Structure 1
Amino acid sequence: MLFRKNVQTMKRDEMIEITQEVQKAVTEARVNEGIVLVYCPHTTAGMTINENADPDVVHDMLLSWDEVYPWHHSAYRHAEGNTAAHLKASTVGPSQQIIIDGGRLVLGTWQGIYFCEFDGPRNRTYYIKIT
């Protein structure tokens, strides 16, 4: 079963937790055992799984990505000026897979699924595929 979801991002760089949306799709699909794939079809956004208990972790991740991939760099050639967003998205990756057991996502105690925006604000789409 495939679900198409929209998300409105509000900042240039942000991580939006979508764990509940993914679990809702699994529940709606009535899948007890399987795999869920969460996929981002954008070249300047991605998906990750990380801590969702302390918001400072998200802050620190975004800060660190900015340090590794500065928004403005004299050697960047891409005319749109969003090379850093492309680099961050490639580092994070476009998708995550999560096991489904007993109709629930198998995530660690502190884990959440995040849509990662690196070139916002934008109206974005992501997909949830359940097998």
Structure 2
Amino acid sequence: MLHKIHIQTTSRDQMIDITDQVRAVVRQEKVKDGVVTVYCPHTTAGVTINENADPDVVRDLLMRLDEVYPWVHPQYRHTEGNSAAHLKASTMGASQSVPVADGQLVLGHGRGFISVSLTAPGGGPFMSKYKKINVFMNPPTVRERVEFLPSFLF
């Protein structure tokens, strides 16, 4: 089952918590047990799982990404001017998978899915005001429903 989440961006280097949208997909599909995979099909955006309760975590992540991959670097050769976005997106990753048990995401305390948008909206020919995130649900068959998660995760 494929669902699309559309995320509106307002600036370059944004991290947006999409955990509630992913939970809504799990509820809508009535998945009791399985795996949810969140995938971003953009080369200048990604998906990560991290603490979503403290906004300073996002600020610190973005700060360090900027230090490692500055927007302007004399040795960048990519001519569109968004080399840093490609590097940051590759570092963050394009997808994350999480188990679903008893209809709930098994994320751990204070963790969530975070969409990472690294280009400014409307800033160039390949940049969009909206980022699309794909959510794939993979409910197991009845035979596959076994106790696959240790109890300490709940």
**TM-score, with length taken from structure 2:** 0.84
Does residue 113 of structure 1 match 2:120?
A: no
Does residue 130 of structure 1 match 2:137?
A: yes
Correspondence list, 1:43-122, <5 A: 43-121=43-121, 122=129
**SS of 1:36's equivalent?**
strand
Aligned equivalents of 2:33 and 2:68: distance in 1? Answer: 39
Does residue 7 of structure 1 match 2:7?
A: yes
CA deviation vs aligned residue, 1:41-97 (integer Å, no higher than 9, x gap) = 000000000001110000000000000000000010111000000000000110000
Report the number of matched residues.
131
Aligned equivalents of 2:120 and 2:21: distance in 1? Answer: 21
Q: Which structure features the higher share of strand residues? A: 1
**Structure 1, unpaired ranges of 5+:** none
**SS of 1:31's equivalent?**
coil
Shift of 1:120: 2.2
Aligned equivalents of 1:11 and 1:64: distance in 2? Answer: 18
Aligned equivalents of 1:88 and 1:27: distance in 2? Answer: 32
Structure 1 partner of 2:148: none
Aligned equivalents of 2:132 and 2:59: distance in 1? Answer: 23
Indicate the RMSD between aligned Cα atoms, in angstroms.
0.6
**TM-score, with length taken from structure 1:** 0.98
Aligned equivalents of 1:6 and 1:107: distance in 2? Answer: 22
Shift of 1:114: 0.5
Structure 2 partner of 1:39: 39
Q: Percent identity?
A: 52
CA deviation vs aligned residue, 1:23-49 (integer Å, no higher than 9, x gap) = 000000011000000000000000000
Shift of 1:4: 1.2
1:130 counterpart letter in structure 2:
M
In terms of mean alpha carbon deviation, does 4-13 or 41-50 score higher? 4-13
Runs of 4+ in 1 over 3 A off after TM superposition: none
**SS of 1:42's equivalent?**
coil
